[in-house]
């Protein structure tokens, strides 16, 4: 099943190749879950899915808990009136200011489907800053969201650093670690999918569990 979120570096098109090399195990651990393409297309009995982006995990938790009710809540944002440049920037501003986590989760879905290329990027102050995407009829991916909800009943979602997540691995676990790409240059890299980013220092920092 295709993830309901657009995601830079998503692995949906490679899931069959990835599955062919993943071993059997009791639990799948993903320190960089992203859109969840690997999780959605494997069948481990338990899943520990983490990411450093709190907005992403907040969304996954609401969808996990509420299912169709949350999908219906999100659908209220997908109207012709909201598919304008003015409405987009008003809703993006609301996303950056609101303390209502449920509304923020729904707005994250809206922004993902209406912003340029479905990117997830934040400025130095932690504000979502991807511009309007100018799509003719962005649609809410209801079928994909409900499938995620069903699969998520066998998952734990955590906002966590990749090192602390990998250090939770136990014998029998399978770890699929897919960090952001190594920056090609200081100007062409994309590392700001969460506040604080993910650069070369993080690429070179192994978790303690791998240093034994």
Query: What domains, with CATH codes, occur in the chain?
Result: 12-210 (1.10.1020.10)
φ/ψ (deg, to 5) at 82: -90, -5
Share of the chain above pLDDT 70, in %: 85
pLDDT at 55 over 60: yes
Candidate from 38-52, 64-78, 174-188 with smallest mean pLDDT: 174-188
pLDDT classification of 116: cutoffs 50, 70, 90: very high
pLDDT classification of 188: cutoffs 50, 70, 90: very low
- Note the residue count of the chain: 212
Q: What is the mean pLDDT of the chain?
A: 89
* Percentage helix, strand, coil for the chain under 3-state DSSP, each rounded to 5: 45, 10, 45
CA distance 8 to 53: 14
Sign of CA dihedral 203, 207, 208, 212: negative
Higher pLDDT, 65 or 185: 65
Q: Which residues lie closer than 8 Å to 178 by C-beta, 6 or more apart?
A: 9, 11, 30, 32, 34, 38
**pLDDT at residue 181, as a whole number:** 58
**pLDDT at residue 9, as a whole number:** 85
Predicted TM-score (pTM) of the model is 0.87
- Which pair of structure tokens corresponds to residue 163? 């090192």
pLDDT classification of 184: cutoffs 50, 70, 90: low
Q: Which bin fits 36, alpha (ψ -120 to 50), beta or left (φ > 0)?
A: left
Share of the chain above pLDDT 90, in %: 81
Question: Which H/E stretch holds residue 22?
Answer: none
CB 173 within 8 A of CB 26: yes
**pLDDT at residue 194, as a whole number:** 56
Strand ranges (E), 5-145 = 27-30, 46-51
């Amino acid at each position: 099943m295709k993830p309901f979120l657009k995601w830079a570096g998503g692995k949906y098109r490679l899931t069959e190749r990835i599955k062919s090399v993943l071993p059997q195990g009791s639990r799948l651990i993903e320190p960089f879950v992203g859109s969840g393409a690997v999780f959605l297309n494997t069948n481990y009995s338990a899943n520990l899915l983490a990411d450093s982006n709190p907005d992403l995990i907040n969304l996954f938790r609401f969808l996990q808990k509420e299912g169709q009710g949350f999908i219906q809540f999100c659908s209220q944002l997908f109207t012709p009136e909201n598919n304008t440049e003015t409405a987009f920037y008003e809703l993006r501003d609301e996303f950056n200011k609101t303390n209502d986590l449920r509304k923020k989760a729904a707005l994250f879905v809206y922004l993902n489907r209406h912003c340029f290329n479905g990117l997830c990027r934040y400025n130095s102050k932690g504000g979502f800053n991807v511009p309007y995407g100018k799509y003719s009829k962005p649609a809410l991916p209801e079928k994909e969201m409900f499938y995620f909800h069903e699969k998520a009943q066998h998952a734990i979602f955590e906002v966590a650093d990749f090192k602390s997540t990998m250090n939770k691995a136990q014998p029998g676990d399978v770890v699929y670690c897919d960090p952001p790409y190594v920056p090609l240059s200081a100007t062409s890299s994309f590392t700001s999918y969460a506040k604080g980013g993910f650069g070369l220092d993080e690429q070179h920092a192994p978790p303690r569990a791998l240093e034994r």
